[in-house]
Amino acid sequence: MTRMEGALAAEKLTVRLLLPAHDALVFEAPEDEVERARCSGTVMSC
């Protein structure tokens, strides 16, 4: 989760983590940033 927040910040996205729950993270993002934020999600699989 910490790496995900750093990755989003590095991409200069305004996505906010709303709810960390067990094996899932729930985010809120402006519609125009959704695809870029989705690509940043690959950092979680490292």
Record the tokens describing residue 43, joined without a space.
Answer: 């950092």
For 28, residues 6+ apart whose C-beta sits below 8 A from its C-beta are: 15, 16, 18
pLDDT grade, residue 2 (50/70/90)? low
Residues 1-5 have a mean pLDDT of: 67
pLDDT grade, residue 46 (50/70/90)? very low
Q: What is the pLDDT of residue 18?
A: 82
pLDDT grade, residue 45 (50/70/90)? very low
Q: Is 43 helix (H, G, I), strand (E, B) or coil?
A: helix
For residues 18 and 28, the answer to whether their CB atoms sit within 8 Å is yes
> pLDDT tens across 9-31, in order?
777 888 887 887 777 778 888 88
Record the tokens describing residue 8, joined without a space.
Answer: 């989003």
